[in-house]
Every structure is written in C-alpha cells, then in structure tokens.
Amino acid sequence: MRCCLSAPLAALSALPDPCQVLRSGALLTPALLRTAADALRGPAGRSRRHRDGLAAVHLELVTLAEDRAVITWYTGVPGTDDGFGHMLPAATEGEVVYGTHPGRLTRVAAEDGPVAHHYVELTDLEPGQTYYYQARSRGVAATPTPLHLVRGNAVGTNRHGLGSSGGPYSFTTPQPPPGRHLLSIALCNDLHLGETTAGLVTGIPLMRGITQELGRAPYPEIMSRAVVEEARLRGADVLLAAGDISAGGAAQDLAQARQILDGFGTHGQDYFVVRGNHDRPGHGNCRSCDGGCGDSFRDGFLDGDGPSYFARDLGGLRIVGLDTYEKDGNGADSGGLGAEQLAWFQARLRENKDQPTVVFGHHPLAVRDSVFPVTGGQRLGRRQARSILDAYANSPGVFLHHAGHTHRNKRTVLPQAPHVTMQEVSAVKDYPGGFCLLRIHSGGYAVNHYKAGDVAAREWAERSRRVAGGLWPHHALGRSVTDRNSMTARDLSGISRPAPSLPAQRQPHTVRPLL
C-alpha cells in the first residue's frame, strides 16, 4: 500500500493558486534535482570515505514544557550513504550540557548507552527561565535540522547559536498552565496501517518513496505501537485518534489498528477514533475481498451501527468527534460533513455554549503557511469550514480543534474564532513520528509534542525524514517550537479530574553536575 494521494504532496484533484505553485516550485526544485542526481549515480557512485569519522546532525528541540525539554539528534558516518542520501548510523554516547549562561554549561543529561538515534530529556527546569545547551557525541557538537526554507528554528525559542558550528543554542521555558492539573489527552492521527512506502507520490516525477529496511516490521505498526506506549508513559488519561487509521480501508488493517489502540485502553471510554479519507467506505485498495466491500471502519470501530460522529462528556469536558469524510469521493478531494452531521454538530454547540469542549476530526478547517502548494484536498470544504467557524464564534466553551491529514505540526488561531486553538498534529506513521499531549489544568492548557521514544520508532523516523527529497522536516516538524509546544490561559475549572488508571510517567534521564 503506497502512501496517501491526498497528503500534502499529492492533492492532485484540485489545482492550487498559480502563485503558490511558483513559490513552492522555487523551493522544491533544488531538492528534486539533488534527488534525481542521487538516483542516477546509485549507491555505488556515492562517496564512502571517512568511515572512522563521526557527524552529529539533525538536532531538534522536540518538546518544551515548563519543567522539561526533549532534545534529539543523529550520529552517522560521514561519506556513507544508505541509498536514500542519508548517512549510515554510528552508535556512540550522547549528552547534553546546559545551563543558564552560554559560558557556563554546568549541568549534563546523558544517555544510558551508545546509540545513533539520540533522545535526551532535561528535567527539573525552572518556568520562565532562559537556558543554553549543546548536544554532543564523542566530543562532536550536533548541528540543527535546517529549516531555512520556512525561516524556521528547530533548536530554540530564539536565534542564539544559529549559524554556528554547534551552538550553544537557547530556549526559554514557558510558564505552566495556571491551576491544578485535571487530565491529559494524547492527540494523534494518520497511523496508516497497511502502508508500505512513505512519501511515494504517483504522477509527480523525482519524488522517491522511502521503504522499511528488509527484515524489519512494517513501519506503521512500529510507530503506532510506540506512540500508544509513549502516550501511556507520559500520563495520558485519554487518547484521540483523528483519522487515517488505515492506508486504504482494508478490514485487516483496521482490525490491527483496533488491536494496537486497545493496548491503550477501552474504545469509547479511554480512547476515541474518527474516520479519515483513507478509511472511507468501499473496497478501494482493500486487499481482503474479491469484490466490493462495505464500511470496514464502521465494522471495526462502530460495531457496524450508528453514526460515525459523536459527543462524550468526560467529567465536564465535552469531546466531539467529527467524520470529515462523510461523502462520496476518491479521498483526494476536500473533506466534508453530511448535512445531518453538520446540523447535529451546530445544535450540540448551541445546547451548552460555555461547556469546555475539544473537537477533533481528520481534515483541518484551514491550511496556512505550507511549504507545498495548498489545494482543496488538504482541508475541509470552504463553505463548511466557515459554518463551523461561525459556530465556534458563538460557542466560547470550545477551546481546541485537533486535526491531522496535513502530516505536520502547526498551531493556528483564526480571527473568526480567536479563543480556539487549531492544532494540526504530525503523522504517527513517519517523521517526526509522535503525538501531542494536551495537559488540561483548571486555569489553562498546554500542548506538547513528543516523539516516540522506542528505538525502532526512532530509527524509522530518522530514515523517513528523507521524504520529498529531504524537504519533509521543513513541512512536518513545525516552523517554530510554538507550533508543537504552547500554553494558553483559560478558565477550565468546570472539568473534574478522572480517577487515575494508567501507568506513571517515564523516568527521566539522570542529571548530574559537570565535574
């Protein structure tokens, strides 16, 4: 099963604005030419020098909360190539030195052993404090993931150290959400069970898809299991999966997704799922039947009955799940709600305008600031999006709308409903490979992105960053730290805290003074 044709690179059913095509073409062309040259040379034509050297690259400040930060990077052998323009891995120790002054990095967070895919967590940070840090392996300082095409910053909340050969870089921790902690919700989407090639776009030349290494488990399965486990370790009480659970609606892929998600808890109680365009009814790319088949998503998650949209009350918090592809189509066109669902949704919001509410559905209402051309296939239909925004404008209790489909981390606040955070979350299935944790307090909420910490998941996430000729990080990671980590003050005191039922959080890495 190849990856989605309605993904950001493949929405071919609607033409974008010509200016967007020219802008994106100017950005994409150099990467496409490099990809074509690599393909013509082949692995044998690429350099294999410096096998005893070490390069530390792709440094990213993934998570930034009031008391912690997660920093990742990759170490490889310079001059080597895995066939996709990516260095072969070099396992070595990793550590982050940090402090509150760029000249006094007196604290160290170190990994437990040698790895190539480094994942270090800084803990016991002070809210509102500016820190400086340098990540290094075998004395080599890691350099950032470049986000120059979007004028982004992968390593900090300010530009300190950018342009240097290894930092130190800098970030300022946010303030915590006010009040007591009530509950945490994992926001995820785009698992794509059944997919075999990431980023393969039919009809667009020179875009090479990325496949899993021979002998490894399918990457959607690895990533989905890892995200479920990471969400539990991070203390999520509830999990919301916003569509594209499968790659093509096949019954066996949806059944496997159900089995993986059941590892988090009970469907309809601990986790909730809505349909994406890849989960639409009809046999499509289904591999399990000879002729037409029914609605495998409905059979797998709705017991074959009832509407594919819903509202649930969790201790005063209203969760609304929308089916944003309740329509006939090939999956590459714009999303849409049926007339009955839209009327139901508007009526539910009118019933209790002030009730704290989280809405989730697959297609975002709007797509802003994309490095790739924006087409109608990437969002909900304009008319329905306007109707929903009008409903939000009259419903002050709605505070967050979670969407997938674009496979990127992006926080947007629209003028029609400035009290609602529109949070797009990157795909589970590939780079950066994780989820967002929504932490709800009585006086506000925080959204923090976490990569899956499982070793196999980290390996695939690094391999799949080569999607789109290596441009994928410019799109998927988030232009700024605040696209994937934010805090908003808001009165949410009407929500009650659920009884704890999940395991404690992951134990942090040891932090020791630098001798």
Dump pLDDT digits (tens) for 296-324: 999 999 987 889 999 999 999 999 999 99
Instruction: Identify the weakest region by mean pLDDT among 49-53, 151-155, 424-428.
Output: 49-53
Three-state SS for 197?
A: strand
* HEC-encoded secondary structure of 223-263: HHHHHHHHHHHCCCCEEEEECCCECCCCHHHHHHHHHHHCC
CB 413 within 8 A of CB 421: yes
pLDDT at 269 over 60: yes
- Residue 493 is given by DSSP the state T
Compute the distance between CA of residue 447 and CA of residue 438 in angstroms, rounded to an integer.
5
pLDDT at residue 293, rounded to an integer: 60
Compute the distance between CA of residue 364 and CA of residue 401 in angstroms, rounded to an integer.
8
- DSSP structure string for 292-308: ----HHHHHHSTT-S-S
Q: Which two tokens stand for residue 216?
A: 């490894």
Compute the distance between CA of residue 485 and CA of residue 471 in angstroms, rounded to an integer.
22
CB 443 within 8 A of CB 491: yes
CB 479 within 8 A of CB 471: no
Query: What confidence category does residue 11 fall into, taking pLDDT thresholds of 50, 70 and 90?
Result: very low
CB 240 within 8 A of CB 440: no
Average pLDDT of the segment spanning 240-249? 96
- What are the Cα distances from residue 511, in Å, to 122, 473, 508? 8, 29, 9
Instruction: Identify the weakest region by mean pLDDT among 37-46, 129-138, 187-196, 331-340.
Output: 37-46
Dump pLDDT digits (tens) for 206-217: 577 899 999 999
pLDDT at 44 over 80: no
Sheet strands (E) in 292-427: 310-314, 317-321, 357-360, 398-403, 410-412, 421-424
* HEC-encoded secondary structure of 362-379: CCCCCCCCCCCCCCHHHC
Query: What confidence category does residue 37 fall into, taking pLDDT thresholds of 50, 70 and 90?
Result: low
| Torsion angles phi and psi, residue 482, rounded to 5 | -75, -15
- Indicate the pTM of the whole model: 0.89
CB 373 within 8 A of CB 53: no
- Residue 14 is given by DSSP the state S
Q: Which two tokens stand for residue 262?
A: 């059941």
Dump pLDDT digits (tens) for 346-376: 999 999 999 999 999 999 999 999 988 888 8
- Rg over alpha carbons for the chain, rounded to the nearest Å, is 22
Q: Which two tokens stand for residue 126?
A: 């002070």
pLDDT at residue 20, rounded to an integer: 53
pLDDT at residue 204, rounded to an integer: 56
Angle at 163 between CA 158 and CA 168, to 5 degrees: 60
pLDDT at 33 over 80: no
Q: Which two tokens stand for residue 85?
A: 């323009």
Query: What confidence category does residue 282 fall into, taking pLDDT thresholds of 50, 70 and 90?
Result: confident
Dump pLDDT digits (tens) for 71-114: 999 999 999 998 888 899 999 999 999 999 999 999 999 999 99
Compute the distance between CA of residue 113 and CA of residue 294 in angstroms, rounded to an integer.
50
pLDDT at 115 over 80: yes
pLDDT at residue 46, rounded to an integer: 40
Q: How many CA atoms lie within 13 A of 455 on its CB side?
A: 9
Q: Specify which residues 377 forms β-bridges with.
A: none
- What are the Cα distances from residue 376, in Å, to 8, 75, 348, 507? 10, 39, 27, 44
- The total number of residues shown for the chain amounts to 515
Average pLDDT of the segment spanning 237-241? 98
Domains of the chain (ranges, CATH numbers): 55-80+93-137+139-172 (2.60.40), 185-489 (3.60.21.10)
Q: Which two tokens stand for residue 421?
A: 């955070």
